[in-house]
Amino acid sequence: MAQRNFILLGPPGAGKGTQAAALVKRFGVAHISTGDMLREAVEKGTELGRQGQEYMNAGKLVPDDLVINIVRQRVQESDCEAGFLLDGFPRTLAQAEALSAMVDELGLAQPRVVNIVVDDEEILRRLSGRRMCRECNAIYHVAQHNLDVGDTCPACGGKIYQRPDDQKEAIAERLRVYHQQTDPLVPYYTDRGQLVAVPGEGPIDEVRDAMLDRLAAGPDEGA
């Protein structure tokens, strides 16, 4: 079977992690979240975690070389044979260009790119109320689940916490960085015929169906 690769683009809190699960299920690809990999490295106290931690807590991007290297190694692991889904990478033009070159060099398929579009006001609302389980990474919202930091995860019994970068100041910084560094990826991938845009503010199932429909229909028109 031909390899199929995907990139999920969209601001923090757009629902990339949630929609990633649908693509993984449909296409049997490996889910690669650079944010999860970096948080795990911080948790384990590895050299990578040590290098990334300060940037992450401040809502800033870790240096391109660091993430490009993680991704280069990760896409060559055996679970990526059917394909991979990148969630949270690339986030800069330099990362996108490195990825395109890397994919060609390794003889892999150029990814289809799904851009999940959500406006800043909605992102602020989602992220400031977001809480996570330290054990299973389940995501909750204070307004929907009636739980907060220190409570117990209904799914696995782990402790609920708030990511340091989900505090108000860090969210504003992440959005600023997103618009400055990651917005340029939309014209980059549109011009290359790799991108489809999907409105991301509706219910999860609607966003998922729109995403799968758009992928079946082919790329958006180039500029």
Active site residue 163: yes
Count of residues that interact with ligand AMP, criterion CB under 6 A: 18
DSSP structure class, residue 31: E
List, in sequence order, the alpha helices (H) in the chain: 16-27, 34-44, 47-57, 64-74, 93-105, 120-128, 142-145, 168-177, 185-191, 204-217
Instruction: Specify the residue, 23 or 38, whose C-beta has the smaller distance to ligand AMP.
Output: 38
Which member of 39, 112, 126, 163 is catalytic? Answer: 163
| 3-class secondary-structure state, position 102 | helix
- 12 binds ligand AMP, rule: CB under 6 A: yes
Which member of 72, 74, 130, 192 is catalytic? Answer: 130
Which member of 4, 16, 112, 131 is catalytic? Answer: 16
As to burial, measured by CB atoms within 10 angstroms (0-12 exposed, 13-18 middle, 19+ buried), residue 110 is: middle
Active site residue 25: no
C-alpha dihedral sign at 178, 179, 180, 184 = positive
Q: What distance in Å separates the CA atoms of residue 121 and residue 127, rounded to the nearest whole number?
A: 10
Place of tokens 């990478």: 89
Per-residue x/- track, 80-119, ligand AMP (CB under 6 A):
--------xxxx---x------------------------
Radius of gyration of the chain (CA): 17
Instruction: Specify the residue, 66 or 209, whose C-beta has the smaller distance to ligand AMP.
Output: 66
- 62 binds ligand AMP, rule: CB under 6 A: yes
Instruction: Specify the residue, 7 or 207, whose C-beta has the smaller distance to ligand AMP.
Output: 7
Q: What distance in Å separates the CA atoms of residue 131 and residue 25, rounded to the nearest whole number?
A: 24
Instruction: Specify the residue, 29 or 86, whose C-beta has the smaller distance to ligand AMP.
Output: 86
Active site residue 174: yes
Q: What distance in Å separates the CA atoms of residue 213 and residue 9, rounded to the nearest whole number?
A: 17
- 61 binds ligand AMP, rule: CB under 6 A: yes
Which member of 4, 126, 174, 208 is catalytic? Answer: 174
Active site residue 16: yes
Active site residue 60: no
Residues labelled catalytic: 16, 91, 130, 163, 174
Interacting residues with ligand AMP (CB under 6 A): 12, 34-35, 38, 55-56, 59-62, 67, 88-91, 95, 165, 174
